[in-house]
Amino acid sequence: MESINTLFEKQKNYYKQGKTRSIQHRLDALEKLNDAIKKNEPRIIEALQKDLHKSEFESFMTEVGILYTEIEYVKKHLRKWMKPKRVKTPLTHIGSKSFIHPEPYGVALIIAPWNYPFQLALAPLIGAIAAGNCAIIKPSELTPHTSELIRHMVQETFNPDFLSVVEGGVETSQSLLEKTFDYIFFTGSVPVGKIVMEQAAKHLTPVTLELGGKSPAIVHEDADIKLSAKRIAWGKFINAGQTCVAPDYLYLHESIKEPFLKAFEQAIKELYGKEPLNNTAYTHIVNEKHFNRLTAFLDNGKLRFGGKTDPNKKAIEPTVLTDIKWDDPIMADEIFGPILPVLTFDELPDMIDEITNIPKPLALYLFTENKAVQDKILAEISFGGGCINDTIYHLASPYLPFGGVGNSGMGSYHGKSSFDTFSHHKSVLKQTTRFDIPIRYPNTKNGLKWV
């Protein structure tokens, strides 16, 4: 494969030719991407099965289907988004008009993680194409079958001077980060996010950082217990908990702890059966390192449910741990696996205090019908995005910008937000030449002066 330097220079030159800017080029490229995904669907599902033991149902719902919806939405609205937008002009600027022109940044770099390795490499690409950029994608090396497939698919579909995939691990990623990209879109962990931002700072390249964090699921005393148990179990154990917006820990009102945990066990059984380790629809852990990291948490607190593991398959049962304290190792960082620690609270302010003592989470899920409680949590806890009475669903709406805040990231995407993220919004004032107002010039008298 040609070197990163050559590829980067070719993309820079291609971008300069202006071909990526027309609406037709953008729409055609989005259509081609859609067709390529359709054509490769069976291979995508096979690669995800090999890399993560993902079921066909989950692969379609969380990796492929979500991309079709996004492409369709972007295609439908692109023409409107691309138009320069006329905005108001203050009286002091009489005679002139004001416009905001969205323009592509140029050549974008997209670095993707392994947990939704197909979707998280291509969802940002939709935004990059829609905004008229060239792009290089660096998929995760931890999911090699999916990475290879993405490279093959993009190579087969697009001119590499326009869109390309560079496969590889940390060193490849670092070599790419040495180049002066016009935009960097990174999805991954907090420590690597900091490295990416540091590299980007050397070139003053703007970044979006889609990171992670400890996202709480709070269940208040009045919540619908059965429904909240089902929705939290689904959000936590989909992809075996390896989801950036998975509920990381459960915060239960003390008064409903027992009924909730009973309903939760029942919900897990309904979702994955009595033997999840033998369930073909249950995702496994990506590699041995993460398997060992996760199994080390199993002696934290008290095992309430699950806890069995299979090292050969790298699978861990949906597991619930109670009697957890904030200084237990499982509460130190994002868990990113199918183990759910449970904390309880009696008073809202104490619970809010604990959550706001740790870095701002990517998501927060609150289960209550009480509007005053909803308002209080929304007003007092900062988080990237989330749901009231559900988990994860906010991520699948093109009308809701998706992203983190503080340690969970910066910037956002999905729907129009993706277009905006990959566009520079150029402000232009169009001044009249019919007259000139002298007050701004020194030594002139007030009043209009016709030129």
Neighbours of 291 (CB within 10 A): 20
Of 322 and 417, CB closest to ligand NAD = 417
Among 170, 201, 428, 448, binds ligand NAD (CB under 6 A): 170
Among 26, 53, 138, 151, binds ligand NAD (CB under 6 A): 138
Distance of closest approach, residue 213 Cβ to ligand NAD, in angstroms: 7
Q: Mention every residue, 6+ apart, whose C-beta is less than 8 A from residue 35.
A: 157
**Is position 115 an interface residue for ligand NAD (rule: CB under 6 A)?**
yes
Cα–Cα distance, 285 to 73 (Å, whole number) = 33
Of 141 and 222, CB closest to ligand NAD = 141
Active site residues: 210, 244
Question: For 13-24, what is the HEC assignment?
Answer: HHHHCCHHHCHH
**Is position 244 an interface residue for ligand NAD (rule: CB under 6 A)?**
yes
Cα–Cα distance, 286 to 77 (Å, whole number) = 37
CA 336 to chain centre: 15
- Provide the sign of the torsion angle of the four alpha carbons 88, 89, 94, 96, taken in this order: negative
Cα–Cα distance, 319 to 305 (Å, whole number) = 5
Among 20, 187, 239, 391, binds ligand NAD (CB under 6 A): 187
Of 264 and 336, CB closest to ligand NAD = 336
**Is position 282 an interface residue for ligand NAD (rule: CB under 6 A)?**
no
Among 174, 278, 356, 431, binds ligand NAD (CB under 6 A): 174
| Token output for 107 | 């050549």
**Is position 189 an interface residue for ligand NAD (rule: CB under 6 A)?**
yes
| Token output for 196 | 């990416």
Cα–Cα distance, 15 to 129 (Å, whole number) = 12
**Is position 362 an interface residue for ligand NAD (rule: CB under 6 A)?**
yes
Cα–Cα distance, 176 to 5 (Å, whole number) = 9
**Is position 173 an interface residue for ligand NAD (rule: CB under 6 A)?**
yes
Distance of closest approach, residue 379 Cβ to ligand NAD, in angstroms: 24
Residue number with the smallest Cβ distance to ligand NAD: 212
Of 210 and 317, CB closest to ligand NAD = 210
> Do residues 153 and 36 lie in contact, with contact meaning Cβ atoms separated by under 8 Å?
yes
By CB under 6 A, name the binding residues for ligand NAD.
111-115, 120, 138, 140-141, 169-170, 173-174, 187-189, 192, 195, 210-212, 244, 334, 336, 362, 404, 409
